[in-house]
C-alpha cells in the first residue's frame, strides 16, 4: 500500500493546524449561512465571525487575519462568487473589520471584553462595504440611504456574535492543538 507523505521539509506546525482548523470551521459556517434566506442582500448574521474572534482571542491578530481571509477566499471559491462584486464587498468588509480588530484589541481588557471588539468590528465591516459600494459599485449618494437599516442589523448581529463567542470561550477552555486522528 502506498503512503502519501507530505513534504518532510516543511512540516505543518501546531499553530498552522489550529489556524487551518479554525478557517475550516469558518468556511463551514459561511456555507451554512449562505443557505439562509435573507430579506435584503447584505443582511445576514455573520456567524463565521465567531471564528475570527476566537482566533483573535487565542492566537492573535495575525492568525485572525489569516483565518478571516482564507475563509473569504474559500467561500468565494466554493460558492462560485470569486471576483464578483459580492466577493469584493466581502473582502472590503473583512479588511475593515480586521483593521478595527487590530485597534480594538489594544483597548484595556479591564474595561472592554470581546463584545466590544465584535461590535466595533461589525461597524468597520459595514463601513468598508459601504465605502467600496459608494466608490465603485454605485457612485451615487443614495447609497447612504442604506446605512440606517444595515447599521441596525449589523449592530444586532455583532452583539449576538460577541455574546455567542464569549459563552463559547467560557464553556470550552482554549483548544489545544490535538494530534489529528
- Near other proteins by CB under 8 A: residue from 32, 77, 78, 163: 163
The span from the CA of 140 to the CA of 95, in Å, is 23
The span from the CA of 125 to the CA of 91, in Å, is 9
Q: Is 172 in the site for other proteins (CB under 8 A)?
A: no
Q: Is 166 in the site for other proteins (CB under 8 A)?
A: yes
For 132, the grid coordinates are 467600496
The span from the CA of 148 to the CA of 121, in Å, is 17
**Residue window 108-147: x/- pattern of binding to other proteins, with contact defined by CB under 8 A:** x-xxxx-xx--xx--x-------------xxxx-xxxx-x
Cite the DSSP H helix spans in 105-136.
114-132
**Residue window 15-44: x/- pattern of binding to other proteins, with contact defined by CB under 8 A:** --------------------------x---
Residue 94 burial (10 A CB sphere; 0-12, 13-18, 19+): buried
The span from the CA of 14 to the CA of 67, in Å, is 15
**Residue window 70-109: x/- pattern of binding to other proteins, with contact defined by CB under 8 A:** -------------------------------------xx-
Under 8 Å between Cβ of 137 and 92: no
Q: Is 152 in the site for other proteins (CB under 8 A)?
A: yes
Q: Is 167 in the site for other proteins (CB under 8 A)?
A: yes
| Positions in the binding site for other proteins (CB under 8 A) | 41, 107-108, 110-113, 115-116, 119-120, 123, 137-140, 142-145, 147-148, 151-152, 155, 159, 163, 166-167, 170
Amino acid at each position: 500500500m502506498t503512503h502519501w507523505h507530505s513534504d518532510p521539509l516543511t512540516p505543518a506546525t501546531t499553530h498552522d493546524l489550529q489556524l487551518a482548523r479554525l478557517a475550516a470551521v469558518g468556511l463551514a459556517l459561511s456555507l451554512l449561512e449562505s443557505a439562509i434566506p435573507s430579506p435584503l442582500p447584505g443582511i445576514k448574521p455573520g456567524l463565521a465571525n465567531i471564528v475570527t474572534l476566537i482566533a483573535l482571542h487565542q492566537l492573535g491578530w495575525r492568525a485572525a487575519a489569516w483565518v478571516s481571509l482564507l475563509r473569504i477566499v474559500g467561500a468565494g471559491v466554493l460558492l462560485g462568487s470569486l471576483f464578483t462584486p459580492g466577493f469584493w464587498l466581502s473582502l472590503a468588509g473583512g479588511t475593515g473589520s480586521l483593521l478595527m480588530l487590530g485597534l480594538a484589541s489594544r483597548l484595556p481588557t479591564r474595561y472592554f471584553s470581546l463584545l466590544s471588539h465584535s461590535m466595533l468590528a461589525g461597524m468597520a465591516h459595514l463601513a468598508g462595504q459601504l465605502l467600496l459600494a459608494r466608490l465603485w459599485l454605485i457612485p451615487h449618494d443614495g447609497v447612504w440611504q442604506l446605512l440606517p437599516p444595515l447599521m441596525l442589523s449589523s449592530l444586532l448581529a455583532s452583539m449576538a456574535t460577541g455574546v455567542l463567542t464569549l459563552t463559547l470561550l467560557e464553556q470550552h477552555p482554549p483548544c489545544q492543538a490535538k494530534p489529528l486522528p
